[in-house]
Structure 1
């Protein structure tokens, strides 16, 4: 297999370059169109992100965290009441494994 690969590489290296005329390597209008479309898309994404970033608050610190704390305390109390027997659940785990 390596001999075949070496033979193919030798043939490709010995092959003369194609398309070396006066038009070789020049860009087409399609390339310009794709480049402009990518630049417009990038500009639109940056503009949109800036609009969204302007809507963000200066800081995410909570001025009045009391409502959040009340909701958390209610959740914590329910968990403690259910696991009053030392934190072991009444039912075995869904996986069926032993403790």
Structure 2
């Protein structure tokens, strides 16, 4: 018959040497994911910088004959409520 001390002293956790690769593999996966994330952010920033400040107006075949007024025509450019730089400021800073 086993006493309480003998039951608690037994190692019932299995072979501890088989899980020896889990730590290095986890570190490798974390480093790989971090590297991929950094590369994706750099790629998307480069693509956003190549976009034009404004896109041309797109009109369907029914709007091709009529003159389309620019909705921003005549408006005074105002500072945005945020501190985000405009497109020309972004090109100057990069």
Structure 1 or 2: larger helix share?
Answer: 1
> Given the two structures, how large is their TM-score scaled by the length of structure 2?
0.39
Query: Higher relative CO (CA 8 A, sep ≥ 6), structure 1 or 2?
Result: 2
